[in-house]
A and B are shown apart, each in its own frame.
Chain A
C-alpha cells in the first residue's frame, strides 16, 4: 500500500496519537481463558477508549480471536473481568452484548448465503424491531411503517458501502471481498457503539483492501463508532489504528501507539523470531 511506506516513518502516526480520544469504553482486566489444559489467554489487560481504532495483533494462535470472543460474550473467561461502559459485566451472552451495542464480523464470512444483500443487512436490524411477529407477518400498519424506517437505514448503509449494484443478489454468488463488505454492512445496521472486526481484510486483493480501509476509517469518523480490529496486514494496522495491543501465546507483550509497538524489541522478536 502506498501510504504504508509513508507511515513507516512514524510521523503521521505520532501526530495521530496526540489527539486523545475519549474515556474508556471497555476495559479488560486480568483475563485468563482456558480450554481444558490449553491456555488460550493468560492474564491480559487492556482498554478500548471511546472513538478510537484499536488493533489487536499477534502471530497465529496468539489468542486474538479468543479475545474478541470474550468481549462479545461468546467465551467466558475463567478469571478476570470485563467492564463495559463503566459497568462490570457478569457472564453475558452474545445477544446481550449485541443489545448493549457491540457488533462484530467474523474471520470466515458468516452470512446467509441464499439471501440477498439487502435481506442480510436487514437482519442486522432485528434487535431494533419492536413489532411482534403477527404484525410483521401481516406487513401492515405499524409493522409496515417500522419496516420502511429500517429499510431507510439499510439503504443508507448500502449507499455508504457502495454496494447498490448487488442489493438484490444472493450473497453466496458474490466475490469474497464483497461478501466481507456485506458483513460489515450487517454489523453497521446494528448501529453499534463498539464494532469488533475479525480480520476484515483477510483474503482480499490490494484494491479491495484499500476500499475496506477507507470504509473502516469512514465508519470511525462519520458515525464515531469505536472499532477493535484484528488484522495481519501490518501496513493496514499501522495505517488505521490509534493504539495497538500485541499478544503472543495468550499473553500481552506490548501496548501502545503503532510507532511504539513497532519499535518494541519483544514485538520484533515475536514476529521475526529470535536466535536462541
Chain B
C-alpha cells in the first residue's frame, strides 16, 4: 500500500494496472448471471478497461468530459468509471432510482456528454429527458435486452464498444502507445469523480473529489481494518453513494480484493450467503430488515425451536458482547455461549451471510442500540462510522475494543475534528473535497477559512473521546418553553422497535413534542395474522385500534427513557398518530437514501399536524401520491390521534450526580 506515497500509481487506472501486474490472477470482479458466478481476474479487468477506454476515446470522449453512470451494481458500470478516468474524463454516478426530473437536473448540471447505463429502463428514462440534456452525445448500455429495435445512432452496447476498442488496439501499436500516454498524463491531483449528495436539503450538490482524495480516504479504511486481497465484499448499495464508491471501487482497487455483484436487489441476501463476505458496509436499515425478517420467521417456528432461540439470545445478550470485546466472563457463561454458538448463533450468522465476516460497518443513520448489540452479541464484529461525502467518507470510526452503541467512535486517522460554538461538528483531513461543482457559494458556506468542513451535524465528545451525534445542527430545536427538542433523537428511539418503520417528530416552537409514524408492514402484518386481525391494505392496518394500542406501548417506553435522561425529559411525546400511507421517496417524503424530509412532510400533512396540537381525536386528510410510472393519484383517510402518558423528569441535576 506504499505505492501512493511512493508516487507511482496516483490514479485509479494506474492502480488497476499495478493490480494486473502484481496480482493478475486474483479474482477482481464477480457477477452472478444466469445463476452462475462469472468472474474476472485483475489482468482481465485491466484488459477490458483498456479496450473500453479506447472504445470511448474513439467515440470522442476527451479529458475533462463528464460521464454519467447509472444503474445497479454491475462490473461493467464500475469499469465505465475506470475507463473514463483512464482518459481523464470524470465519472458522475447517479442514483438509478431517481425519477426522470431529478436525473435531468443532475445530468444537466454535470454537463454529462456520455451516459453509461444498465438497461432499457435507464435508456428509456434518459430518452424521455433527452431534450433537456443538450450536452449528451452518446449513451452506452450494459444489457441489450429489449433495445434491439432502438435507433443505434447514438446508442451503443458496452460490450461492443469494448470489442471495437480491443480490435482497434490490436490493429495498431501506435494506438496502444497513445492510449498508454493518455493514462500516464493523469495525476493524483486531477478531479477523479463527482458524487452528487442525496439532497436532504434542496437540490443535489456535486461533490468534487480528486484521485488523491479518494485514494487517501480508501487507504485510511484499508489500514484501519487491515484489508487485503483475500477479502470479499458484495456490492449492492447505490453506486452514486460515496460509501459504495470507496468500498466497492476505491478500496477494492487499492487492496485488491474481490467485488461481487449480485443478480439483483432481491437476491442480495442469498448471494451474500453464497459469497461469504468478509467485509461489509450497510446502512442500519439493511441490518434492521434482516433481523425483522428473522424475528418474523421465528414466530412461525415450532415451540421448541422458539424457546431455544429466545433462551440463547438471552445468553448472548448478557455475555456475547463482552466475549467479543475480550472482557472477562465466567467459565460457565463461556461454555453456555459456545453451546449457543453451535446451536443458534452460527446458523444465524450463516443465514445472514455473515459467517466469514471480519468487520462490518454501519453508517448513514444512527443505529438502534438494541439492534447494534444484537449483531455484536451473536459474534458479528459490527462497528459504526460517521462519514460524509464531503470527507470522502471517513470522519470518525470505532477502533476494535472500543465499541459503543451510542457513539460513532474516535476521529479517523488523519482527520482533525473541532466542535463549533453552536455544537456543530467541523472536520479537516487530506481527503476532504475540493468544492461543490459549479457552486462556489455553497462551497464557501460549507468550508471555513482554515480548511475545515462544516458537517451540519450537532454533536459532542464524551469523556472517553468518542464523538456522539445528536442531530442535524439546524434541526435541534426548542419547545416553546425552552426545553430541548432533538427530533431525530426521538425518531430513532421509536424506530428501534421492529413494528415501526418511519417516524417524523414535530415540536419546534410548539408547546410539546408529537410524532407521526409508519408501521412496518412485514412485522405488523405478521402480528396481525397471528392475532386474527383482518386487513386489506396498509391503510386499514395502520388505522386499526389494536395496532394503535401496540404503538402506544412503544411510545410509552420511549417517554420513560426520555424522562430518565438529562435535558431530554421535556421532549416526551404527548400525542401521536399513525400515517395512512407509507412515506415514499417518489412522493418526495424521503430522500433517495431514505431519510425523512421533516419540513416537507409537515407541509404536506398540515391537517394532521394541526390535529396533533388542537386536541382533536380524528383528522381528515387527502394526499397526492406518485406511482412508479409517474402518474398521480389521491389517497384520503381519517386518521386517529392518540394521547400518550408522560413522566416526571427524574434526571438528577449535574451538581448532584457523582
Contact = CB atoms under 8 A, between A and B. Distances in A.
B628 A207 contact: yes
A47 interface: no
A156 B270 CA distance: 19
A260 interface: no
A9 B628 CA distance: 25
B530 interface: no
Contact of A210 (B146, B149, B629): B629
Chain B interface size, under 10 / 10 to 19 / 20 to 34 / 35 or more: 10 to 19
Interface centre among A159, A162, A165, A214 (most CB of B within 10 A): A165
B266 A221 contact: no
Contacts of B266: 164-165
Contacts of A262: none
B146 A218 contact: yes
Interface string A158-186: 11101011011000000000000000000
B34 A155 contact: yes
Contact of B35 (A160, A164, A210, A221): A164
B35 A2 contact: no
A165 B267 contact: yes
Contacts of A21: none
Contact of A155 (B35, B145, B146, B267): B35
A152 interface: yes
Nearest to A155: B34
B629 A2 contact: yes
B451 interface: no
Contacts of A2: 629, 631
A210 B145 CA distance: 17
A159 B631 contact: no
Contact of A221 (B149, B264, B628, B629): B149
A187 B34 CA distance: 19
Nearest to A156: B34
Contacts of A164: 35, 263-264, 266-267
A158 B145 CA distance: 14
Contacts of B628: 207
21 contacts: A2-B629, A2-B631, A152-B34, A155-B36, A158-B34, A158-B35, A159-B33, A159-B34, A160-B145, A164-B35, A164-B263, A165-B263, A165-B264, A165-B266, A165-B267, A168-B270, A207-B628, A210-B629, A214-B146, A221-B148, A222-B148
Interface string A179-214: 000000000000000000000000000010010001
Contacts of B36: 155
Given A159-B33, A164-B267, A222-B148, 18 more contacts: A2-B629, A2-B631, A152-B34, A155-B34, A155-B35, A155-B36, A158-B34, A160-B145, A164-B35, A164-B263, A165-B263, A165-B264, A167-B35, A210-B629, A214-B146, A218-B145, A221-B148, A222-B145
Interface of B: 33-36, 145-146, 148-149, 263-264, 266-267, 270, 628-629, 631
A214 B629 CA distance: 14
Interface string A105-134: 000000000000000000000000000000
A162 B35 contact: no
Contact of B264 (A151, A155, A160, A162): A162
Interface centre among B33, B34, B149, B631 (most CB of A within 10 A): B34
A159 B34 CA distance: 6
B289 to A, nearest CB: 14
Nearest to A152: B34
A162 to B, nearest CB: 7
Interface of A: 2, 151-152, 155-156, 158-160, 162, 164-165, 167-168, 207, 210, 214, 218, 221-222
Chain B interface helix/strand/loop/mixed? loop
A160 B119 CA distance: 13
B273 to A, nearest CB: 12
A165 B36 CA distance: 13
A186 B410 CA distance: 56
A266 to B, nearest CB: 34
Nearest to A118: B35
Contacts of B34: 152, 155-156, 158-159
Contacts of B629: 2, 210
Contacts of A160: 145
A165 B269 CA distance: 10
A155 B263 CA distance: 12
Contacts of A156: 34
A137 B13 CA distance: 51
A162 B145 CA distance: 12
A168 B146 CA distance: 26
A161 to B, nearest CB: 11
Nearest to A153: B34
B13 to A, nearest CB: 32
Q: Please give me the 8 A-B residue pairs with the lowest Cβ-Cβ distance, nearest first.
A: A165-B266, A155-B34, A164-B263, A155-B35, A165-B267, A164-B267, A159-B34, A164-B264
Nearest to A1: B629
B631 to A, nearest CB: 7
Nearest to A218: B146
Contacts of B263: 164-165
A235 to B, nearest CB: 14
A6 to B, nearest CB: 13
Nearest to A165: B266
A37 B43 CA distance: 75
Nearest to B32: A164
A207 B539 CA distance: 19
B388 to A, nearest CB: 33
Nearest to A164: B263
Contacts of A218: 145-146
Contacts of A159: 33-34
Contacts of B631: 2
A164 B269 CA distance: 12
A20 B35 CA distance: 39
A239 to B, nearest CB: 14
Contacts of B35: 151, 155, 158, 164, 167
Nearest to B264: A164
Contacts of A167: 35
Nearest to B33: A159
A210 B36 CA distance: 29
A116 to B, nearest CB: 12
Nearest to A159: B34
Contacts of A210: 629
A204 to B, nearest CB: 15
Contacts of A221: 148-149
A151 B36 CA distance: 11
Contacts of B146: 214, 218
A47 B264 CA distance: 41
B75 to A, nearest CB: 16
Contacts of A214: 146
A162 B628 CA distance: 18
Nearest to B262: A164
A207 B630 CA distance: 12
A164 B631 CA distance: 28
A152 B36 CA distance: 10
A151 B34 CA distance: 10
A271 B108 CA distance: 50
A191 B6 CA distance: 59
Nearest to A217: B146
Contacts of A152: 34
Contacts of B267: 164-165
Nearest to B143: A159
A258 B148 CA distance: 26
Interface centre among A2, A156, A159, A207 (most CB of B within 10 A): A159
A91 B339 CA distance: 67
A212 to B, nearest CB: 15
B120 to A, nearest CB: 9
A158 B264 CA distance: 12
Contacts of A207: 628
